[in-house]
Structure 1
Amino acid sequence: MSTTTAGTTLGLDAHALSEQLSGLAQGLGIERWDLGAACSTDTSVQVDRGEAKQLKGAQRSAITVRVWNGDGLVGITSTSDLSPAGLARALSGARDASAYGNADDIPAFSPLATAPLEPLDQPLVEPRGILELLDTLREAERDLLGRHAAITTVPYNGLAQRSSERLYLNSAGACREQKLTTASLYLYARGEEEGRKPRSSGAVRLAYGLQQLDVAGCIAEAAERTIAHLDYAPIQTGHYTCIFSPEAFLDLIGAFSSLFNARAVLDGVSLSNRDALGSTLAVPFLSIHDNGLHPGNVGASNFDGEGTPVRRLALVEGGVLRHFLHSEATARAFGVEPTGHAGLGAKVSVGPHWFEVGPSAGSSGGASGLDRHTADGVVWIDSLSALHAGVKASQGSFSLPFDGWLIRNGEARSIEAATVAGDIRAVLKGILGFEGEAKLTPDGLCPHVWVEGLSVTGDA
């Protein structure tokens, strides 16, 4: 068991820090600068059969400072020291580094860095003591172990809480600040019966604080999923209609998010090109939005790494590719406004926040009456694995191990071991329809998605 002691968040004052930076920059002869900072205090626990496995606490801070020199070139440096001396060193280091800036890739301030922000309803919850976290997780593990005789361990588990602060400041007057508290719980159970292979599954819950966490729901979902995989059988290799759980489909969309990423388009590592907007990407009833501001997105921020406001953005509407995700630089290259998806770093990155997937407004939503509980000969994919290795995003192909069930005459039986393979473009154009209401998950909002004609390789 390892134990460290948590500190407190730094209590940053954005306006005071901005004034301090302005004075320091003026003294160093720097006219143009910006700063992005993220600081957090984290506390987490893990248990193993009732015993404390790990108690951790940490205070983290990451500060990025950029300086533009007289020739317009940019230098960048990182620090964790927000003292006047530390900030002066960071400004001086970035100024010196600007002499070696890339003249072919010069970022600028976001034109929206001072635009009004959408307010977020995010309660700040007082963190609880680490021993209370430990007791809560012990009880959750004990409850989960008691759900079925075959559940003998919960090898992967964790309960954590975080208090965090984010800042974006620049010499043109931008002053963004956010404070946030979050808590998370994951339980991944292992079920084992004599003469049978071990089976595992789990669940995750997020909230603004420990008191709001749906601990009972997490236990129930982890138990239900694990028990449902105990009775397994091999599956014959072939082509099947597949039903993706909301979590699995969101994982797949996330793995191919370069389709919508303007940085990936400009770097030539996306399936999309500069002229792809307006082209048909999917079935005419599919809608995909990136909506970092959704109330269900615990941990949401209303501004990105460049201070640009976050907003709901239609990526696919009516099956047509409508928008790309942009930073300031990619937006400038495309002649549009930044969309609030930038990450500040040595090279400004672009990435999605939180997906909403479902039928387009006014559409039929595809085939009606889809029900996996009465289906026959279909594969229900519960979760995908090895996305880091099994996805070739720039080619569109994937081959991924999965946990799921083969459904025969409405009866679901767990699949012993199998992989699903295909091409994301064929998946998006092979969607048959949606089943049920959209489910809120940590990564987005999505219903069950039916897709025809995917290749499943099994052991039978």
Structure 2
Amino acid sequence: MPILVSDLANQVQESAHRLGIQKYDIYGASVDETSVQVDQGEPKQVKASQRSSVTVRVWNHEGTLGITSTTDVDPTGLELALKTAYDASFFGMKENVPDFSPEAMAPLAGQEEDRVSPASVSDLIAALIAAEKELLAAHPAIASVPYNGLSQRDMERFYLNSDGAVRRQGQSVASIYLYSKTEQEGKKPRSAGSFEVSRGLEQLDIQKCIRETAEKTISHLDYEKIPTGKYRVVLSPDAFLSLIGAFSNLFNAQNILDRQSLSTPESLGSAIASPLLSLYDDALHPENIGGELFDGEGTPTRRVSLIDQGVLTSFLHSAGTAKRLNAQPTGHANMGAKVTVGSHFYHVLPGVADSAFDLSTADNVVFIDDLHALHAGVQALQGSFSLPFDGWLIRDGQRTSIESATVAGDFRQLLKSIIHIEPELERVGAGLSPRVWIEELSITGE
């Protein structure tokens, strides 16, 4: 049920007046979610949840700030949250105190409503059982689909402050995930997965998810060890954006101010990658299903150029980091116990076709499809990584699955070693990217 944000703003204003609070802001979200899992043609798990979260910030007459969070969005709960935040404000920090975003009342660039009617639980179960059945029938070696899920979410977000800013956004998102596993006598189990997202169940491309999962799984059946050495490497869109995300401190202004970044404030304008690479963060891209119109401080989201032809052009900012670095907020603030900065949706600009870089004719090239253990194998402040991966060794255009291997390197060197970016974009969880060719990376076989 949509939150009447204008009514909420009036209630909060009355409560604040009673408590003697002059300056405050509130960011909140509510989510209705239904998800199903199946196992061998039977429902395994059905979950439905309704959850809300609200973060309240109050500034006292001394200018210091208190923050509290609550799951209670009725007038009594919000008034208690205001009082708690006000009491906490007298113990708040004295330096670099956050303030309202200067763009909290600027116009938004998208639609406030983007909802579809939810499907019934029985329809979700039926669709997922059918997908599992079709995937199991795709090849005799595919024995199970141990991880799967079909979910739909209806979300409402809002922001308001004592200066009169009132924002809201309602949207629907549906997603499916399939991950299949093989069993063959005398061979190791092989597995692969795929993910699709859309506005609702009817728009969800379930067939594409089934097809990609089957093709990837089958392609790993005949595997070989790979000799340890240095190889030319092609990163799938998912693998490349996984690395971008793992080293996102490069662009994160809060990380830079905290000295937890590979960049410094002076890094802007320096060449950090091959001139072939141009990277954006674009929350409003049409392919970004579930994209946010505004961030936790009410700042409108937008397209931000991070790397332009290899040159670092922008950082991602909250209102606070922008003020400290003499920049503009970019709409990347996450509201919580403290304001953090995070990305939305990466977009790597496609390159142009070049017959010298064609996987169908490549020789002695490693194609990395999926990187694992990023939580453990990435040294984000050193710039280094050593990660297990799923992929293929390509000889004379023929793919052979790699049994077990890790890829290692330095992320900054990897960016400068890009020798080709393919022309075809693919949407993955973190954004849009083509396949990216790297001159050389170290591969360690089992």
TM-score for both structures, normalised by structure 1: 0.95
Instruction: Report whether the alignment pairs 1:347 with 2:355.
Output: no
Cα distance change, pair 368–100 in 1 and its aligned pair in 2 (3 A): farther
Instruction: Report whether the alignment pairs 1:443 with 2:430.
Output: yes
Q: Identify the residue that residue 285 of structure 2 maps to in structure 1.
A: 294
Structure 1 residues 1-32: Cα deviation after superposition (integer angstroms, max 9, x where no partner)? xxxxxxxx4x2111111111111101100000
Q: Identify the residue that residue 392 of structure 2 maps to in structure 1.
A: 405
Instruction: Report whether the alignment pairs 1:265 with 2:252.
Output: no
Q: 1:365: how far off?
A: 5.5
Structure 1 residues 213-253: Cα deviation after superposition (integer angstroms, max 9, x where no partner)? 00111000000000001110000110001000111111111
| Equivalent residue runs for 1:90-109 within 5 Å | 90-109=81-100
Task: Supply the distance in 2 between the matched residues of 1:120 and 1:447 (Cα, whole angstroms).
Answer: 28
Q: Identify the residue that residue 404 of structure 2 maps to in structure 1.
A: 417
Q: Identify the residue that residue 6 of structure 1 maps to in structure 2.
A: none
Counterpart of 2:204 (choices 205, 209, 213) is: 213
What is the RMSD of the two structures over their aligned residues, measured on CA atoms? 1.2
Q: Identify the residue that residue 141 of structure 1 maps to in structure 2.
A: 132
| Equivalent residue runs for 1:22-61 within 5 Å | 22-61=13-52
Counterpart of 2:329 (choices 311, 329, 338) is: 338
Q: Identify the residue that residue 309 of structure 1 maps to in structure 2.
A: 300
**Secondary structure of the corresponding residue to residue 116 of structure 1:** coil
Counterpart of 1:168 (choices 135, 147, 159) is: 159
One-letter amino acid matched to 1:309: P
Q: 1:367: how far off?
A: 6.2
Instruction: Report whether the alignment pairs 1:187 with 2:188.
Output: no
Question: Percent identical across equivalent pairs?
Answer: 53
Task: Supply the distance in 1 between the matched residues of 2:75 and 2:440 (Cα, whole angstroms).
Answer: 62
Counterpart of 2:117 (choices 105, 109, 126) is: 126
Cα distance change, pair 229–131 in 1 and its aligned pair in 2 (3 A): same
Task: Supply the distance in 2 between the matched residues of 1:291 and 1:438 (Cα, whole angstroms).
Answer: 15
The number of equivalent residue pairs is 446
**Secondary structure of the corresponding residue to residue 323 of structure 2:** helix
**Secondary structure of the corresponding residue to residue 119 of structure 1:** coil
Instruction: Report whether the alignment pairs 1:275 with 2:266.
Output: yes
Contact map agreement 1:286 1:319 (CA 8 A) in 2? yes
Instruction: Report whether the alignment pairs 1:452 with 2:439.
Output: yes
One-letter amino acid matched to 1:398: F
Task: Supply the distance in 2 between the matched residues of 1:192 and 1:272 (Cα, whole angstroms).
Answer: 46
Structure 1 residues 167-208: Cα deviation after superposition (integer angstroms, max 9, x where no partner)? 011001111100011100000000121100000001000000
Q: Identify the residue that residue 225 of structure 2 maps to in structure 1.
A: 234
Cα distance change, pair 209–262 in 1 and its aligned pair in 2 (3 A): same
**Secondary structure of the corresponding residue to residue 147 of structure 1:** coil
Q: 1:96: how far off?
A: 0.3
Cα distance change, pair 277–365 in 1 and its aligned pair in 2 (3 A): farther
Cα distance change, pair 423–105 in 1 and its aligned pair in 2 (3 A): same
Task: Supply the distance in 2 between the matched residues of 1:399 and 1:104 (Cα, whole angstroms).
Answer: 39
Contact map agreement 1:366 1:433 (CA 8 A) in 2? no
Task: Supply the distance in 2 between the matched residues of 1:165 and 1:153 (Cα, whole angstroms).
Answer: 36
Structure 1 residues 124-162: Cα deviation after superposition (integer angstroms, max 9, x where no partner)? 111111111111100100000000000000000000000
Q: Identify the residue that residue 384 of structure 1 maps to in structure 2.
A: 371
Contact map agreement 2:112 2:168 (CA 8 A) in 1? no
Structure 1 residues 77-97: Cα deviation after superposition (integer angstroms, max 9, x where no partner)? 111111111111000000000
**Secondary structure of the corresponding residue to residue 437 of structure 1:** coil
Task: Supply the distance in 2 between the matched residues of 1:342 and 1:261 (Cα, whole angstroms).
Answer: 11
Cα distance change, pair 303–129 in 1 and its aligned pair in 2 (3 A): same
**Secondary structure of the corresponding residue to residue 278 of structure 2:** strand
TM-score for both structures, normalised by structure 2: 0.98
List gaps (5 residues or longer) in structure 1. 1-8
Q: Identify the residue that residue 62 of structure 1 maps to in structure 2.
A: 53
Contact map agreement 1:298 1:442 (CA 8 A) in 2? no
Counterpart of 1:201 (choices 186, 189, 192) is: 192
Task: Supply the distance in 1 between the matched residues of 2:42 and 2:353 (Cα, whole angstroms).
Answer: 50
Contact map agreement 1:366 1:432 (CA 8 A) in 2? no
Q: Identify the residue that residue 67 of structure 2 maps to in structure 1.
A: 76
Task: Supply the distance in 2 between the matched residues of 1:205 and 1:439 (Cα, whole angstroms).
Answer: 12
**Secondary structure of the corresponding residue to residue 118 of structure 1:** coil
Instruction: Report whether the alignment pairs 1:255 with 2:278.
Output: no
One-letter amino acid matched to 2:28: A
Cα distance change, pair 253–368 in 1 and its aligned pair in 2 (3 A): farther
Bigger Cα displacement from structure 2, 212-221 vs 119-128: 119-128
**Secondary structure of the corresponding residue to residue 100 of structure 1:** coil
Structure 1 residues 313-365: Cα deviation after superposition (integer angstroms, max 9, x where no partner)? 00000100000000000000011110000001111000110011135xxxx75
Instruction: Please list every run of at least 4 consecutive aligned residues from structure 1 whose deviation after the TM superposition is greater than 2 angstroms.
Output: 120-123, 364-369
One-letter amino acid matched to 1:262: A
Q: 1:440: how far off?
A: 1.9
Task: Supply the distance in 2 between the matched residues of 1:170 and 1:290 (Cα, whole angstroms).
Answer: 27
Q: Identify the residue that residue 4 of structure 1 maps to in structure 2.
A: none
Instruction: Report whether the alignment pairs 1:430 with 2:430.
Output: no
Task: Supply the distance in 2 between the matched residues of 1:21 and 1:42 (Cα, whole angstroms).
Answer: 27
One-letter amino acid matched to 2:420: G
Counterpart of 1:370 (choices 351, 357, 376) is: 357
Task: Supply the distance in 2 between the matched residues of 1:57 and 1:84 (Cα, whole angstroms).
Answer: 26
Task: Supply the distance in 2 between the matched residues of 1:270 and 1:261 (Cα, whole angstroms).
Answer: 8
Task: Supply the distance in 1 between the matched residues of 2:375 and 2:24 (Cα, whole angstroms).
Answer: 36
Task: Supply the distance in 2 between the matched residues of 1:222 and 1:276 (Cα, whole angstroms).
Answer: 41
Contact map agreement 2:278 2:307 (CA 8 A) in 1? yes
One-letter amino acid matched to 2:36: V
